[in-house]
Structure 1
Amino acid sequence: MRRLYCTAGAGMEELLAQEVRQKLCASQVEQIPGRVFFSTNAEPQTLTQLKSAERLFLLLHKAEPIALPNNPGKAAAVIKERVVGDPDIWKQTLLSWTAFQEELECRRDQGHKRKREEDEEESVTEADGSTHTVSSNTHLLEKQKEVGKESHLQTLSFRVSCRCSGVIARSDNPQRLSRIIGMAIKEQLGWKVDLREPVLEVNVYLSDDHCIVGIPLLKHPLASRSYMKHNGLRSTIAWAMTSLCPDELNNCVILDPMCGVGAVLLEAAQEYSNAVFLGMDTDGSQLQKAAENVKASGMEGRVQLLQSSALEIPLADGMVDAVLCDVPFGRKFSCSSDMTTALPLLLREMERVLRVGGHLVLLLSLQLSAQLKKIICTPEQEKHSKSLDTNSVHTEPSNAHKESTETHKTLLISSLQSQKKHRVSLGSTDAFIHTYTKMQTQTHSH
């Protein structure tokens, strides 16, 4: 069992904890802001398939927060004791890291490995015509490999990447702490500092709550998808939209009416092999990039792209099982209207093509998310608003009635029942993922 942790964007920790339990059969799952810790014996190839994580680390240790003295000598002593700790733990962790890398390499080169194994034995013909098999020096090669590994442990090159938050961040800076930690590791373990091309990177996170030391298991973030030649919405958020859907999406028709470069559809397509996907966008250049992403992912037969407006979806009523949509934040939706104005019309059109029992998943800015309250209502709210509207025909409405009547003009949809609302970070801003289920056929108000 390896003790690992993953970093995650704000709001993704709970989803990541669920994913490692389901996909890795992980135990001892613990989440803190920005990180999820777990134990698993899952194969490296399976670990690389995590969709909600940013980066994957082998955990060296997780301890209580530290307070560093101002005196450099005393600070170095504290770091040597609290951050570096027992050299044997580092050596064992490094052996685990090396084994992980070898397993990944083995997976990548299975075809070549089989060929090498076949070439290890040669058929030799003697002078008398008899033949026998001569085995290559496999055991000697393995022994040399082990000796090389031991030597490698002694001369390993590394660098330290330190991140701080809270009190320690206000009293010190990451660069200085990285230098102090690096010197302590060099002294304690005999490793060589290499800031440009190290074999190993040591990540240290110091906060008011934790001291966490880990080693990245992969050079590239898990969030970087090899099939995304053109990046759009962050892949972890696109995956979250799929995972938050109330039902699995196999044997379904799934629509993204504003698909951009296809990030949401491709994340869903990776998860559900028996679904059909339709992506639409008004921007031809975006659709071209989406087509290139679809081709890179090998999904040409399952993801269809169409240039069309989300305000006029060219599908009959109730034709799709799920609508997944990253609604643009604050950008011009058309020449004459912005997204705030267009949102009610967009939602009506999405609701129209969705079958009863189908699901709507929306990623919205905080401002657009607040606007949903004026667009999607319960049947009771709709009846109440219609009653107020009817009364206003016969009487001069008060200010309160005027407000209710104005609100009724935008309370367009009563067929969608809210399921979940999940806040996530997009880096510079936050957003909400809303999920709805269509409960009935909508009778639109005019």
Structure 2
Amino acid sequence: MIRHLYCTAGAGMEELLAEEVQHKLCAFQVEQIPGRVFFCCSADMYTVTQLKSAERLFLLLRKAEPISLPKNPAKAAAVIKERVVGAPDIWKQTLLTWTAIQEELQSSQQRGHKRRREEDEEERSTVADESTHTLTSSTHLLQKPSEMDKESHQHTPSFRVSCRCSGVIARSYTAQRLSRTIGMAIKEHLGWKVDLREPVLEVNVYLSDDHCVVGIPLLKHPLASRSYMKHNGLRSTIAWAMTSLCPKQLNDCVILDPMCGVGAVLLEAAQEYSNAVFLGMDTETSQLQKAAENLKASGMEGRVQLLRSSAMEIPLADGAVDVVLCDVPFGRKFSCSSDMPTALPHLLREMERVIRVGGHLVLLLSLQLSAQLKKIICTHKHNQHLNSSDTNNVHTDPSNTCNESTDRPKTLTFHKSSSEASNTPLLISSLQAQRTHKVSLGSTDAYIHTYTKIQHSH
């Protein structure tokens, strides 16, 4: 059965989500707008709930042109009834589809419980059968069967409206006022029952200058809430994006995170690639303990090795790993925010050293550190100019800082940290820039930078 669905996504994640639904679900009619990706697919719903770059999953009820509401309340209600609510038959069919999807997901959950019980019996495990990590973060969020069977099969399910608006319409109407108006229109037009506390259905409405979108969530909580993350670190969707943006597939690779924290990046990579070897390092024992608990919850204890060590002195041989994935701390791991820009050059040098030729470096950097990184990128020609200069300043050719799509290799050029006696520039001429992708971390933005090691360092 073909379903018309959409997912919400964090800023900067829309393109990655569109690629993921096409690759994993063979989706078609894929369309992305800021914060949302629409698609059609016939994949089973358990597979759909395994999307890693999405925030929430919805059954699409209506996608229309933007609406303009008159200031007169009665006229505005009439417009909403016609343009937002529309024909009752569409809602009835959507309710039937929603119910069928819930039943399908319930069946998947029950099969998952049964598989987990059988595995526990075979292994004679004493661990309680929660089976959450088998189904990841999705099916345990469903409606209770008794609720669904009791109400959603009826023609008058309970519901509430959650509305978000922006642009011109937001200057005349609050989201709360629009939610009430839309809710009254649905009640009058369809006969559904309003329940603001524990409704069977939640109707989500998004109104902007460009779109009018109406959908019904298929799960109670976000797909981004991973059940195996007992201790939260980097947002799971961003951690997955770092893996996704790596220029190569990670199977049969050795992957290192030299500043792993609670292990979010490695866990997302390990969920995707079963034949890779993962190594996580951190200086904080408390962080490694939390990472170990996350690994245990996810069933990845044997696949991710943890080591207490400093990223400034990685205890690995040159060229020992295929990929380095690292969420570089935004100044919090050092005594003050100004220390990270000082430490960054040496951190990069160590990461580059342990990567083999042909391997990759993927970094998540704050805007400040990204700006520093751009300032120290220059061409080989400019690098030669720097070598012939007796100066402590890095001069960057502006024509090269903004042209990240060029095929010519880029060079990372920086000075040694203040702890080193020499002021001679420490040069890295072996990393070629591949891609820079901006993402939102909620309260701030960041960049994911990817590099390929093209030659041995000198």
Q: TM-score band, normalised by the shorter chain?
A: 0.7 to 0.9
Partner deviation per Cα, 1:228-254 (whole Å, 9 max, x = no partner): 011100000000000000000100100
Report the CA distance between 1:425 and its aligned residue.
0.6
CA–CA separation in structure 2 for the residues paired with 1:175 and 1:336: 40
Q: Is the 8 A contact 1:156 1:200 kept in 2?
A: yes
1:136-285 counterparts in 2 under 5 A? Answer: 152-285=153-286
- Name the SS of the counterpart of 2:69 in structure 1: coil
CA–CA separation in structure 2 for the residues paired with 1:271 and 1:332: 28
Backbone CA RMSD of aligned residues: 2.2
Partner deviation per Cα, 1:79-133 (whole Å, 9 max, x = no partner): 100000010000101101000000011111138899xxxxxxxxxxxxxxxxxxx
Alignment equivalent of 1:425, drawn from 437, 440, 444: 440
CA–CA separation in structure 2 for the residues paired with 1:377 and 1:288: 40
Q: Is the 8 A contact 1:375 1:412 kept in 2?
A: no
Report the CA distance between 1:187 and its aligned residue.
0.6
- Tell me if 1:436 matches 2:451: yes
Report the CA distance between 1:155 and its aligned residue.
2.7
Q: TM-score, normalised by structure 2?
A: 0.84
CA–CA separation in structure 1 for the residues paired with 2:337 and 2:64: 57
Query: Which residue in the other structure is 2:41 paired with?
Result: 40
Query: Which residue in the other structure is 1:297 paired with?
Result: 298
Report the CA distance between 1:402 and its aligned residue.
6.7
Letter in 2 for 1:312: E
The count of residues paired between Structure 1 and Structure 2 equals 401
Partner deviation per Cα, 1:190-245 (whole Å, 9 max, x = no partner): 11000000000000000000010000011110101111011100000000000000
Greater CA deviation, 65-74 or 372-381?
Answer: 372-381
CA–CA separation in structure 1 for the residues paired with 2:375 and 2:175: 47
Q: Is the 8 A contact 1:376 1:414 kept in 2?
A: no
Report the CA distance between 1:378 and its aligned residue.
3.6
- Tell me if 1:340 matches 2:355: no
Query: Which residue in the other structure is 1:140 paired with?
Result: none
CA–CA separation in structure 1 for the residues paired with 2:394 and 2:283: 35
Letter in 1 for 2:240: W
Q: Is the 8 A contact 1:388 1:404 kept in 2?
A: no
5+ residue gaps, structure 1: 115-144, 393-400
Partner deviation per Cα, 1:27-51 (whole Å, 9 max, x = no partner): 0000000000000011010001000
Structure with larger Rg: 1
Report the CA distance between 1:72 and its aligned residue.
1.2
Report the CA distance between 1:411 and its aligned residue.
5.8
CA–CA separation in structure 2 for the residues paired with 1:295 and 1:185: 46
Q: Is the 8 A contact 1:311 1:346 kept in 2?
A: yes
- Name the SS of the counterpart of 1:154 in structure 2: coil
CA–CA separation in structure 2 for the residues paired with 1:438 and 1:314: 19
* Structure richer in helix, relative to its length: 1
- Name the SS of the counterpart of 1:304 in structure 2: strand
Q: TM-score, normalised by structure 1?
A: 0.86
Report the CA distance between 1:382 and its aligned residue.
1.9
Say if 1:407 and 1:439 are closer, same or farther in 2 by CA, change over 3 A: closer
5+ residue gaps, structure 2: 116-145, 397-412, 416-423
Partner deviation per Cα, 1:164-210 (whole Å, 9 max, x = no partner): 01111111100010000000000111110000000000000000000
CA–CA separation in structure 1 for the residues paired with 2:428 and 2:454: 11
CA–CA separation in structure 1 for the residues paired with 2:22 and 2:325: 25
Query: Which residue in the other structure is 1:31 paired with?
Result: 32
Report the CA distance between 1:330 and its aligned residue.
2.5
